[in-house]
Amino acid sequence: MRKPGLWLCLILALLLGLVALLAAGPWLAMRGIDKAITQRSPAQLEKHIDFPALRVNLKAQLADRLVRAAGADVQSNLFGGLALAGASSLVGASVDSVVTPLGISAVLHGQGTWRKATGHTQSADTYAPPASPEPFAGVQWRYESLSRFSASRTDAAGHRTTFIFARQGLRWRLVDIQLPPGWAAADVLG
């Protein structure tokens, strides 16, 4: 003899579990990125970061900043426009080469060497491994919609960096980093 109440409870529990998984998705993605950075694993980064979307968004953001910084005088001048187009291409190529799993690993490796050289190690011992960057330490978060999540952090100088995550199916991935004015790569990565 089957009990309809048992099936209803089972379906309800499954739906509740699915909602909990979707709600926890951004934190799971941030934790996965932190773990991949600590382990310096490009393959793990690729699971939690949508690199093509991130490249497109960063290129657009940096190109906009370049055009705004150049001003109307440079934009209206023929040679200024050509120089601006060349600079935009250079920015795009730089983003293409750095915003990849291997590019991020190289940046993190260089940052690890810099941290060790400046004494930012896991312990007081100068021969200890470098301290791991923590890009999501102290973030303020919010759901912007059912498929968009933002985590923002402010550095000591008051500059705000916002990490944007988007839901892709049941999985959340980093798709954009809104950089503060005068940003430096080391500041964003922790």
Q: At what angle do helices 101-117 and 78-98 cross, to 10 degrees?
A: 80
- Average pLDDT of the chain is 80
Q: Give a yes or no: residue 58 inside a domain.
A: yes
Give the pLDDT of residue 72: 77
Residue-range definition of the domain harbouring residue 98: 23-118+131-189
pLDDT at 43 over 70: yes
71-101 per-position pLDDT tens digit: 777 777 878 778 878 888 888 888 888 888 8
Give the pLDDT of residue 32: 93
Query: Using 50, 70 and 90 to split pLDDT, how confident is the model at 10?
Result: confident
Q: How far apart are CA 17 and CA 173, in angstroms?
A: 20
pLDDT at 188 over 50: no
Mean pLDDT of 19-34: 88
116-149 per-position pLDDT tens digit: 666 666 666 766 666 666 778 788 999 999 899 9
Query: Using 50, 70 and 90 to split pLDDT, how confident is the model at 181?
Result: confident
Q: Give a yes or no: residue 123 inside a domain.
A: no
- pLDDT over 70 for what percent of the chain? 79
Q: Over the range 64-73, which residues count as b (16 or more CB within 10 Å of their CB) and which as e?
A: eeeeeebeee
Give the pLDDT of residue 190: 44
Q: Give a yes or no: residue 8 inside a domain.
A: no
Q: Give a yes or no: residue 36 inside a domain.
A: yes
- Name the more confident of 113 and 139: 139
Q: Give a yes or no: residue 14 inside a domain.
A: no
Q: Give a yes or no: residue 113 inside a domain.
A: yes
Q: Give a yes or no: residue 9 inside a domain.
A: no
Give the pLDDT of residue 29: 93
Q: Into how many domains does the chain fold? A: 1
pLDDT at 184 over 50: no
Q: Give a yes or no: residue 3 inside a domain.
A: no
pLDDT at 34 over 80: yes
